[in-house]
Chain A
C-alpha cells in the first residue's frame, strides 16, 4: 500500500513537471491587435489587457521587441 502510494505521488509529481515543461507561453496584449486563428478560420482580435496563447510564432519576436505584448510570468 505504501509503495503504491509512493508510486502514485511520484507519478503525479512527474505529470506536473511534464505539464510545466510543455506549458504554452501566455502573453498579455498591450495594444489592440488582430491575428490569424491557428489552423485557419476567422481572424482573432485581442484588446489591451487580454491574455492570449495562440499568437503566430512568426510574429512573437517583433511583437515582444516593440512592446506590443509581454510574457505573462505569474
Chain B
C-alpha cells in the first residue's frame, strides 16, 4: 500500500504545542547499531543487533512568541526536553504516529533578505524512534469516554511507548486522566498505562513492559466544572 504524504494532513506535536502550522519538514530517523561478530571461521561479515538510536529534525518558520521560540528555547539543555509525535497522514485514530523524546542538540534560526525567517532543530532521541499509531486525534473533549480501538492483529510481548500531548485546557478545576488500554477480544479493556492527571496544557511519554494484547485504545476521564481538554495520544508497540 502506497503511503502518500499529504501536506494538509501531516501533524506534528511538540511538548504541549501543535507545531503543524509552523513546520515545513520533520524527520524522525530510527537507527539500530550492530555489533560485529565475524570470526576467522566466517566467509562473510556477521552482525548482531545492538542499541536503538535515532535522530529527530524539525524545520519550520520562526515565530518570536511562546508558541514556537518560547517552546524550543525552554527545551535547550533540558534532559528529554523535546517530546515529539509526528503523524505524516494525520492524527485520526489508527493512523501511523512516530514518537520520539530527546535532548536538543541544535537550534538554528536563519534569516535572509528574500526568505522568511526559519528555524531548524536537531535532537538526539532516547531509545530511538518508536513507530506506532494514533489513539486520539487532536480534538477537544468535554466528558469521560473511550476511543475507537486499533487492531494490532496479534498480541506482542515487547511492551510499548505512549505519548500524550494536551494542547489546551479550560473550565473550573479541570482534570484529565488518560489511560491506554488493551484487550484480547475487543470487548473488555484493561488499563496498561495511565498518564499523570493533567490540569493544564502538558505532555508526557510513558513506557509499559511485557505483553500488549491485540487491541489497544485510549480511555479518558474528565472532571471539573465545564471542563474541556484538547489532546492527542499515540501508542507504539515494541
Contact = CB atoms under 8 A, between A and B. Distances in A.
Contacts of B31: none
B106 interface: no
A35 B188 contact: yes
A34 B185 contact: no
A23 B219 CA distance: 32
A23 to B, nearest CB: 22
A35 B187 contact: yes
**Interface of chain B, main secondary structure:** strand
How big is chain A's contact interface, by range? 10 to 19
A49 interface: no
Contact of B146 (A31, A32, A43, A62): A43
A2 interface: no
Contact of A31 (B184, B187, B190, B211): B190
A30 to B, nearest CB: 10
A62 B190 CA distance: 11
How big is chain B's contact interface, by range? 10 to 19
Counting chain A CB atoms within 10 Å of each CB, which of B179, B181, B190, B211 scores highest?
B190
Given A34-B146, A43-B146, A59 B191 contact: no
Nearest to B221: A45
A10 interface: no
Nearest to B211: A66
B74 to A, nearest CB: 34
B189 interface: yes
A34 B184 contact: no
A62 B184 contact: yes
Interface string B114-154: 00000000000000000000000000000000100000000
Give 5 closest A-B pairs by Cβ, nearest first.
Answer: A59-B188, A32-B191, A35-B188, A62-B184, A33-B190
